[in-house]
Structures are given as structure tokens and as C-alpha cells.
Amino acid sequence: MDEIVEFAIRCARESGNIQRRYFGKKIGIHHKGVIDLVTDVDLACQEKIIGLIKDAFPDDDIISEEKKNYYVGDKNRWIIDPLDGTTNYAHGYPFFCTSIAYEEKGIITAGVVYNPIFRELFYCKKGQGAFYNRKRIRVSSISDLKKALLSTGFPYDLPTSERNNIDNFIAFLYKAQAIRRDGSAALNLCYLACGRFDGFWELKLNPWDMAAGFLMVEEAGGIVTDFEGNAFSIYRDEIIASNGLIHKDMLDVLQGLNRHKNRG
């Protein structure tokens, strides 16, 4: 296995050990916003991962959700979400993970996502495929949007912003078989990569929400773009990912809704 992937797996497992140790117990919970949480476990996981990276790769850049980030363009970069699904974790809902990606010269080349409760380990290396617990994975073969299971999420400023994904959600309710919203974009993208979901879209995400999961989907044979069908970037805030077979239909739903808004 690739050295970077092996190291990222080690970091994710160490983080997962912390998450398991305190899951369901009384922990410190702090508010970054009205409904945006950070727990002491987020911070402990981040400290553990960053410490390991600084020891093993001292010259690399690191960006992570719970720290102040500075982007140094010419450095290799670790992109970390120490606990994706913090609200779930704080409520004892067992759907959360650690997400770690590696960026080289502006290209995401490796990704690892680990759900410690279900012992689900997803990893990928650019050009070498995506894997779930050591077995290669592939996106689904669903080609009809009406038979597709989709997933999405909503931004923290939903009550105060018009760009809150509610209109998109309603539009897809009428077009897809069903939609799930379970609070971890990284895991949603991995579930798409292994065929549990057929499509995913969301907006107002950050690099650490998407970096590992987007590569997982691509390496599993899926497609990832922005809402206009343009090339995807983790440094823009919208993503639409699919098994490829329903991608155009998903784009049509989003773009049709935007055309209707513009006419209005």
C-alpha cells in the first residue's frame, strides 16, 4: 500500500480510537455558531492527527476544520476533518467519521475516511482505485433517477440565507426514489463510492468536508462536478457527485430550478 495512504489510515484509526473512547459519555460541547458545534473530542482528534503529521512530514502544510488555516500554495498539504458529524456525535447518533486527504501540487492524490463505530475504513489513491475494508469498491449501476437513492445536507446558516438547499431538496424529492440527510458529507460520498447511494449534492461545504470523499467517488468510477457541470474544486463550496449514469439528470434538476428562479 502507498506510504501516504498507510500513514493517513494510521492517523484516522488513532482519531477513531479517541471517538470510540468518549462516545456516549459526557463531553465538553462548545458553539462556533447558533447550531454549529465543536466538542472536546474534535479538538483531541485534531491535536492527535496534527502531532503525528508534524512528526512524520514536518515540511507539509496542514489545514483542518478546528484551526486557523493559512494556505501555502507550493507545499504538499494534509486536509483534515478530525470529526465529521460533530452534531451526530454530540447527540450519541453513531454516524460520524474522521476524513483525511493529501494534496500534491494542487491535486488531491489520496484520501482516507474512517467510521470507528461501524469499523468502516474507506481509502483511495489517485489512479489506483477506492477500497472499503481492503476490498475494491465501485459506484452503483442505477441509471434511472426515479430509482435512485440520494443524499444531501444543509448549511448552518439555513434560517437566514436564501441559498440554503431547501428548494433543491424539494425538487429532488419529486424526481428521486428517496433522499437521506444524515449529517456527514465525507461518509455520504464514501457511501456513494461503494454503491449505497447513487447521487449526492450539497453546498456551502469546506475543503475538509469534500477532499477525501470526492476522490473516493472518482476512483470508484463516479463523476464529481459543480452545479453547472464544470470541473470540481474543493476550494469552491458546491458539489454534485453521482455514479455517472444519473449525473446529467441531477444537473438538469438543479439547473432547471435555477432557470425558474431567474425567470421569477
Q: Mean pLDDT throughout 23-29?
A: 86
Sign of CA dihedral 183, 187, 193, 196: negative
d(CA 172, CA 253): 7
pTM here is 0.94
pLDDT digits (tens, 9 = 90+) for 125-172: 999 999 999 999 999 999 999 999 999 999 888 888 888 999 999 999
- Could you state, in order of their start, the residue ranges of all structural domains in the chain? 3-136, 145-263
In angstroms, the CA 91 to CA 146 distance is 33
**Torsions phi, psi for 115 (to 5 deg):** -100, 105
Can you name the residues that pair with 198 across neighbouring β-strands? none
Q: How confident is the model at residue 259 (pLDDT cuts 50, 70, 90)?
A: low
Residues 101, 165, 30: CA angle, nearest 5 degrees: 60
H helices present in the chain, as ranges:
3-22, 40-56, 86-90, 166-175, 185-193, 207-219, 247-263
CATH number belonging to the domain at 145-263, selected among 3.40.50.2020, 3.40.190.80, 3.30.300.30, 3.30.830.10: 3.40.190.80
Q: What are phi and psi of 178, to 5 degrees?
A: -165, 165
pLDDT surpasses 90 at 262: no
Average pLDDT, whole number, for the chain? 93
Do 3-136 and 145-263 come out as alike in CATH topology? no
3-136, which class in CATH? alpha beta
pLDDT at 219: 98
Contact between 171 and 162 under an 8 Å Cβ cutoff? The reply is no
Taking Cα atoms as reference points, which of 166, 19, 162, 181 lies closest to residue 90?
19
Q: How far apart are CA 143 and CA 244, in angstroms?
A: 8
What is the phi/psi pair of residue 104, to 5°? -125, 120
Integer Rg of the chain from CA: 18
Q: Is the pLDDT of residue 35 over 60?
A: no
Per-residue confidence (pLDDT) for residue 32, from 0 to 100: 66
Long-range CB pairs of 116-123, under 8 A, 24+ apart, other chains included: 116/13, 116/15, 116/16, 116/17, 116/19, 116/20, 117/19, 117/20, 117/23, 118/94, 120/187, 120/190, 121/9, 121/12, 121/13, 122/190, 122/193, 122/194, 122/212, 122/216, 123/5, 123/8, 123/9
